[in-house]
Amino acid sequence: MIINPNGDDEWHHPDDFTLKPDGFFTVLRAKAAVDADPRCTNKVSCADILALAARDSVLLSGGPYWPVELGRYDGKVSTRNSVVLPHPDYSLDKLYQMFSAFGLDQTDLVALSGGHTFGAASCAFINNRLYPTTDQTMNPQFANQLRGTCPAALNPNIFVFLDATTFAAFDNAYYKNLQQGKGLLASDQILYNDPRTQGTVNMFASNQGAFFQAFTNAMTKLGRIQVKSALNGEIRRDCRFPN
């Protein structure tokens, strides 16, 4: 959420290029509304609001509810180097190495990847799967459809939905897409193609309730990672700037 005048912040990292301004403005409006109540002024962190907003966006789109643990403080620093996200070309081994470093297991990895039932990705993340030849793990009809949107000449300003089937709903269609070779990112499709995670993908594809339960468990664990306290954080007055 922090904006640095010199542009060295998470907003400007290429991995965050597809994040929409509307999401940031929603958090800013929520923060302003909470702080407008004298009982809550400067008592609720931007980090907690982000966690609640993530839960509510899932719930309002047909997904599960889970109780969000609160009491986080906000960080004071944001740089491009602060961004730690899996890349679309990661192998399963590399994905698991990243997730396990945060105390997340293989089921958490597959469940959290299901968050790609939402959102979009830049063509820059998938062009290497389309050109000069199609990635053999991709459904040929799906590849032709994507080539109609993403030209061979790389254009990072063109986006495609991560789940073109039900992009506005939080459901298990993401996993059904993987079964058909319609995972947009290579790091998505590998979850089905690798026998170590294929069983979990198949279970979530056939049992939405199992996916929802695993997702809420994983989100709770994710929300406990590197939490800031009063010792190393603050409650920002404006989410865009350290106090």
Q: Which residue has the tokens 């992009």?
A: 167
Contact assessment for residue 61 and residue 170, using Cβ atoms and an 8 Å cutoff: yes
Q: Which residue has the tokens 């403080």?
A: 73
Specify burial of residue 192 (Cβ count, 10 A radius: 0-12, 13-18, 19+): buried
pLDDT of residue 186: 97
13 is in an annotated binding site: no
163 is in an annotated binding site: yes
Contacts of 64 (CB under 8 A, 6+ apart): 58, 212, 213, 215, 216
41 is in an annotated binding site: no
Tokens of 18: 């597809």
Q: What is the pLDDT of residues 37-53, one digit of tens each?
A: 999 999 999 999 999 99
117 is in an annotated binding site: yes
74 is in an annotated binding site: no
Contact assessment for residue 204 and residue 190, using Cβ atoms and an 8 Å cutoff: no
Q: Is this prediction's pTM over 0.85?
A: yes
Chain-wide mean pLDDT for the chain?
A: 94
